[in-house]
Amino acid sequence: MSRKVYVTGVGLITPVGLDTKSTWKSLLQGKSGIAPIQAFDTEGFATTIAGEAHGFDPTAYVDRKQARRLDRFAQLAVGAAAQAMEQAGLDLTDGSVNPDRVGCVVGSGIGGILTLSEQWSVLREKGPDRVNPFLVPMMLADMAPGQISILYGAKGPNYCAVTACASGADSIGIAAAMIRRGEVDAAIAGGTEAPVCPIAVAGFNACMALSKRNDDPQGASRPFDAERDGFVMGEGAGVLVIESEESAVRRGAAPLAELAGYGASSDAYHVTQPSPGGEGGARAMALALQDAGMEPGGVSYINAHGTSTPMNDRLETEAVKAVFGGEARKIKISSTKSMTGHLLGAAGGVEAAVSVLAVSERAIPPTINLENPDPDCDLDYTPHHAQKGVVNAAMSNNLGFGGHNASLIFRRVA
């Protein structure tokens, strides 16, 4: 477990940008990607807004025939992976790395829900003989890492972590553990999701999770604000290339950050509500610090789960205080979900990538829409404006339905 793990590539497709550079620029500028839903007719829906990756073209990464055989969540994953591999200079055909020792772990909370819901309508309206023969491979959540593996030739272990909104973070943590154990030299890891469809919006509305601030889309996602009324769903993908220190040195790859710590826990409490005091999330953060061999004062920035739901934001604040004690008020915290919306299974991948960029680019994106701070959420959430300066270490937190908690720590490479 002594091998260092470096991040050498980052790929992002989000509601605020179709690549890493544009996403990062938008986040630093405090731009929101939330708007009225264009993917379907929202008449009759309680929520009519979301974060969509407008303009995304899968044929920039795969040919048209292949694109038609991929659900949108897998298309997004392939695109983000291609970006990350390009930045890392990772070519599995040039002999610089053994493809048998390159893993792929990309998580998704709900997989190909777009294809499944569309083909259910086909079955009902046109009969079983008209169902798409690619339905099953398109709907399976593991097809994101599966397709990346096939397209780019990664022949190591190939997994999909499904831990709701912690899926992307857990996938990166699992991949890092494989590298540390010496099972692989490098991995393509992250999260992806494309949930903006009628059944998903209706389902989250039914459990009272989504914001209904339809008349103010860009102000709807407001983590830690007293007037928050739920999260805003979004789509996208965030993928990292991570590798052992030895692999990076051998390839001449420049590390963006070290993936220093990973902690995971279960609330064992409730299917949708965090445990009292955020106890489960606190344990994940403490485990990540322990894994990294760090004291609380070593963390400069926390990319919070920060969903903009009344319960999550308050309990996550309590969890941070429990873990960091007196240091909690010194740490810059922000929720980039205020701009991207909540990308469900992709959130952990996207927010891990943002945390890497905070370290490598020496800047902290803001929490926008924090107009009326909740008295119970009284830490420094970096409201409105980005902050420039050295970020020695960044923690990324993600929590999911089912009681899943995951924390990742990225720090500067000495």
What positions carry a catalytic annotation? 165, 305, 342
The span from the CA of 120 to the CA of 77, in Å, is 24
Bridge partners for 159 per DSSP = 105
On whether the CB atoms of residues 359 and 394 are closer than 8 A, the answer is yes
On whether the CB atoms of residues 55 and 17 are closer than 8 A, the answer is no
The span from the CA of 198 to the CA of 214, in Å, is 16
Q: Residue 265 carries which side chain, given as an amino acid letter? A: S
On whether the CB atoms of residues 248 and 89 are closer than 8 A, the answer is no
Structure tokens at 243: 């590798």
* Phi, psi angle pair for 238, to nearest 5°: -135, 120
Question: CB 202: neighbour CB atoms within 10 A?
Answer: 14
